[in-house]
Amino acid sequence: MSERTLAIIKPDAVKKNVMGDVLNRYEKAGLKPVAMKLMQMSRPTAEGFYAVHKARPFFDSLCTFMCSGPSLVMVLQGDNAIKKNRELMGATDPAKAEPGTIRKAHGTNIEFNAVHGSDSPETAKFEVGYFFSGMEIFG
């Protein structure tokens, strides 16, 4: 079933000049970018996006990281896009990520881990709508 998921190439990966490699991995896996914007998040934008993690000890540092430079924020569309993207990404901690995954290749540590991907249909709906209006998505 064709689905949409929100993906972010985080500031660490943009700084490392690996946007092209990550986009290539999405496209090769059948995940088509149908909306994208290069943006530097404001603090309130990052805090709202990660509101679910507000009580976590890493929340403040995570928001500082996400505002530290431009990110490539996009909507990916394809069969089982949510799960497929999580598989491409690998585990949150790059040290534990499977070989061949984006985080294994480009992540630095559990915080600076190169990419974001929605983790469920409900999350994807919220996250896509958080950054994009219907008119900005080419499905």
Residues designated as active site: 116
Listed in sequence order, the residues at least 6 apart from 55 whose beta carbon sits closer than 8 Å to its beta carbon are: none
CA distance 3 to 84: 10
Binding of ligand ADP by 110 (CB under 6 A): yes
DSSP SS3 for 67 = coil
Binding of ligand ADP by 67 (CB under 6 A): no
The contact mask relative to ligand ADP for 16-55 (x = CB under 6 A, - = no) is -------------------------------------x--
Binding of ligand ADP by 64 (CB under 6 A): no
CA distance 79 to 92: 23
DSSP SS3 for 5 = strand
Q: Which does 110 bind (CB under 5 to 8 A by kind): ligand ADP, Mg ion, none?
A: ligand ADP
CB 29 within 8 A of CB 7: no
CA distance 8 to 124: 12
| Residue with smaller CB distance to ligand ADP, 10 or 36 | 10
Number of amino acids touching ligand ADP (CB under 6 A): 9
Instruction: Please report, as residue ranges, which positions from 61 to 120 form the binding site for Mg ion (by CB under 5 A).
Output: 119
CA distance 116 to 119: 9
Among 62, 73, 97, 124, indicate the residue that binds ligand ADP (CB under 6 A): 62
Write out the residues near Mg ion by the rule CB under 5 A.
119
Query: Which residues lie near ligand ADP (CB under 6 A)?
Result: 53, 58, 62, 92, 110-111, 113, 116, 119
